[in-house]
Amino acid sequence: MLLTSLTDPRDLERAVTVGDDVLSRAELLDRAGRLAASLPDHGPLAVHATPSIDTVVAITAAILAGVPVVPVPPDSGPAERGHVLTDSGATAWAGELPDDVDLPVVLPGSQPIAPRPVDPAATAMLLYTSGTTGRPKGAQLSGTAIAAGLDALYQVWDWTPEDTVAHGLPLFHVHGLILGVLGSLRRGSRVIHTVKPQPARYAAVDATMYFGVPTVWNRIVDEPDAARALGRARLLVSGSAPLPATLFDRIAALTGQAPVERYGMTETMITLSAHADGERRAGWVGLPVPGAETRLLPATDDATDDATDATDAGPVPDDGETIGRLQVRGPMLFDGYRGRPDADDECWAGQGWFRTGDLAVRDPDGFHRIVGRESVDLIKSGGYRVGSGEIEAVLLDHPAVSEVAVVGAPDPDLGQKIVAYVVGDGRDAQALIDHVAAQLSWHKRPREVVFLDDLPRNPMGKVQKKLLT
C-alpha cells in the first residue's frame, strides 16, 4: 500500500498538523476511512485542494479506496477548473463546492472502511500541468511511481520516521502534496503544514526538515531571526525553481547549513538531488536519485529527436559547460497524459526515456545544472548556444534586480541577441551588462536590457517568455 505507515499499530500523535488542526495517525485513518466509504468505486475524485486538514483527509481517503484523485487548485478560475474536471472525468467532489461545479459532494460515512486492495500500477493521482504551452495536461502518476520516487528520497535525504517535515506549499503540486504530505505519511514521520509559507510560521514550528521554493527562502532570509531559528533543522530543501547563488549563500550564512537543491517535474517526480551527506553546490541540482538515470543529448537545431538519432549523436561531454537536452528515465516517471496520445508521442524518446524539455550541463562528477527550457531558453547567438537560465541567475544576484527573464531576439548579425527583461530598482542597463560579463563568458552578456514594471505570467505564476519576443 502506498501509505503503509497508516496501518502501523504504533500510533503517532500529531502525525499531521495543518494550522491549528492536528490528527494522530489513528484519527487520520478513521476520518479517511469514513470518507472512503462514500467514494465512487472508480472515480476520479476531485479535491478542492485548500491548505487544510480536510484536503489531507480527502486525498488519503481516495488512496485508501483505490480511487484516482485530482487535486484542484483553490484559486482556479471557472474555465481552468472546468477543463480539469471535464478532462479528468471526475465523478465526485470533496470540499467546498464552487457555484460552477456540478458534481456530487462526498460526505463521510458512519463507519470507516478498511483499505481496499489496490493495483499499484493503476493511476493514483492525476496532476495537471501549468499549461505553459497550452491547456493543462493531466499527468497520470501510479502508486508504484509515487512510492518509487518517495523511497528514493528517503535514501538521498536520510529521511527517517523520526523526522518532522514543515512547509507551507500548495497541496496540489508534487512538492507540497506528494513530497511534503504523502512522503511523510508513507515514511511514518510527522508533517506540519503552516497554511501560508511565511517566515514567522516556519520559525515557530519545531521541525527537522523544511521545504520551500526560492521565493519562500528569499522572504525567510529577509527576516534574519526567522532564518536563524531554522538552523536547528538538519535539512533545508529548495526546489521548483532555480535558487540564486547569493540566496544560497545567505541561507547558509544565517542557518549554518547550505540548502539542498533538487530537480523534478510533475511528470517525473524528483530525479536529481544533492545528498544530505554529500556536496551542496550553489546553482547545481545534484546527482540522479536511486533508480533514476539521465542523459544529455546535443542541443541541435532540430526540435525533434528519436531514440535512434539520440544514439547516433551520442551524449554531450561531461565537462560542466556543454549544454545538452536533458532526458530522464526511472520507476518514478508518470504513465503518460490522460487522453493525449499526441503529447505522449512528443515527450517519450523510446526505451523509457522522457524528454524533459530542459537544458542542462553535467560535470565529470555527475553533478547537474539546469540552464533553462529548450523551447524558450536556448539562445543561439554568434555561433554559441547559451542557456538563458544561467544569465538570469547571475542577474538575480544583482541588488537592483528583483525579477528577470532572458530571451533571444532576432538579430541580423548574431542570429539571436541576448535580451534581458528586468523588474527592479534603478535603470542602469550597462551596469547589469557589465555584471554578467564579469561572471560569465563574454558572449553570454546581454546585448540589450529592457526595464518593465511586471513580467507577463500565466495563471500559475510562470513567466510567459513568448510574450516578450
Task: List, for residues 451-466, the tens digit of each pLDDT value.
Answer: 999 998 865 567 888 8
pLDDT category, 306, cuts 50, 70, 90? very low
Contact in structure between 233 and 259 (CB atoms under 8 Å): no
Cα–Cα distance measured from residue 178 to residue 172, given in angstroms and rounded to the nearest whole number: 9
Contact in structure between 414 and 389 (CB atoms under 8 Å): no
1-376 has which CATH code?
3.40.50.12780
pLDDT given at position 295: 96
pLDDT given at position 305: 42
Q: In percent, how much of the chain has pLDDT > 70?
A: 94
- Dihedral through CA 101, CA 102, CA 107, CA 109, nearest 10? -150
Q: Which of 12, 330, 320 is nearest to 153 (CA)?
A: 330
pLDDT tens-digit readout, 8-42: 666 778 899 999 999 999 999 999 999 999 998 88
Task: For 403-433, give the DSSP string.
Answer: EEEEEEEEETTTEEEEEEEEESS---HHHHH
**DSSP code, position 117:** P
pLDDT category, 134, cuts 50, 70, 90? low
Q: Which of 100, 98, 82 is nearest to 90 (CA)?
A: 82
First-to-last alpha carbon distance for the chain, in angstroms, is: 49
pLDDT given at position 380: 78
Instruction: Provide the residue ranges of all domains of the chain, joining segments of one domain with +.
Output: 1-376, 382-467
Cα–Cα distance measured from residue 182 to residue 118, given in angstroms and rounded to the nearest whole number: 17
pTM value is 0.83
3-class state of residue 236 by DSSP: strand
Cα angle for residues 24, 29, 32 (degrees, 5° grid): 120
| Residue predicted with more confidence, 317 or 310 | 317
pLDDT category, 312, cuts 50, 70, 90? low
Q: Which of 4, 3, 1, 23 is nearest to 12 (CA)?
A: 23
301's grid cell: 537545431
Q: Tell me the β-bridge partners of 404.
A: 422
User: Which CATH superfamily, name and number, covers 382-467?
Assistant: ANL, C-terminal domain (3.30.300.30)
pLDDT tens-digit readout, 144-203: 999 999 999 999 999 999 999 999 999 998 999 999 999 999 999 999 999 999 999 999
